[in-house]
Amino acid sequence: MEGEFFDMLPVLRMAAFGMLFETAMGVQIDEAEVERRGLLRVTDELAASVIGRVINIFHWPDFVFNLTKKGQRFYNNVEYIRSYNEQIVKKRKAEYKIGLEDGNKRKSFLDILLRMHLEDGTLTEDQVRDEVATVFIGGFDTTATAASYTLYLLGHYPEIQAKVHQELDEVFGDDWDRPVTLEDMKNLKYLECVIKESMRLYPPVPVVARNIDEDMKVGEYTIPRGTVAFAVIFALHRHPRVYENPNDFIPERFLEKKERHPYAYVPFSGGSRNCIGQRFAQIEDKIMLAQILRRFKVESKVPIEELQLQIEIVLRPVEGIELKLTKRERSA
């Protein structure tokens, strides 16, 4: 694929999916296994079902939705994911009980949950399965999408990409192969600003919903209790009252110590119901980008003004993210 334009998003989705499986469940899974089991297809169908139900008010009542073919397909997919996760949980639980865990291996998220279930009793087995399912469904697509938009923007701004390469060279030198450490990530400050600015312009989750528990006054309007309100993060992040030159890609705005409203930048939502996996997503995103950009230069095909987007649970490009990767030359 090097030297030719190709859709980067499927590659990043598979990479993020593999990273999630290993860190969250302690399971290594390859592309063939993912394809054979249709895991990405099922998660895509689940996301499409949720959005389809949201925009069709006739499907809001459970008793109606459950009778439709789409409803039956949705619950079949939910059961498939639940069954697959249950197999992993049961296998790992059996290993945990007889002490087969590798003491030298880092504990996965599932290992921690099982300890809380088996040793502390603070979680039931159903709760363990539910937590694993939450991470499984929501833990990879947003990260892959965010990384693809970052690469897309860098492909249109070579001067910013050059600054990222300079920082990566200062941290890694010519060693393109060693793993990225937590200490490395602390030193990748400009890359972090680039990622933040990318998620400002293209938030992976562009809209979030909240149930209004009591009447709420917003300016001259009253939102009555029981309303489902939608916060459009995509619009908020591009509001001229919040950001100067809001449609421009300016990573330096996150280097500045500028006071902003705490909810002016919410790529992971905000408040008590913000994204529980945001720290993991930030680390995963930074690692993937560091691994790619210390090896390659990136060029984008579709002009920014022509990039078509569609709002689902995740902000998706209609026709993918076409990029060209060119291997960088090592310094002498």
Query: Can you say which residues are annotated as belonging to the binding site?
Result: 275
**Cβ atoms within 10 A of the Cβ of 159, count?**
6
Contact present, 58 and 64 (Cβ < 8 Å): yes
Q: How far is CA 164 from the centre of its chain?
A: 21
Tokens 């009555």, residue located:
224
Q: Binding site for heme, residues?
A: 275
CA distances from 175 to 43, 157, 181, 331 (A): 36, 25, 13, 11
| Helix, strand and coil in the chain, % to nearest 5 | 55, 10, 35
Buried residues in 269-307 as b, exposed as e (16+ CB within 10 A): bbeeeebebeebbbbbbbbbbbbbbbbbbbbbbbeeeeb
CA distances from 132 to 20, 80, 81, 109, 119 (A): 11, 14, 10, 8, 18
Residue 164, amino acid: V
Contact present, 172 and 289 (Cβ < 8 Å): no
Phi first, then psi: give them for residue 147, nearest 5 degrees: -65, -40
**Cβ atoms within 10 A of the Cβ of 96, count?**
17
In whole angstroms, give the CA distance from residue 271 to residue 275.
Answer: 9
Could you tell me which residues come within 8 angstroms of residue 291 by beta carbon, excluding any fewer than 6 positions away? 180
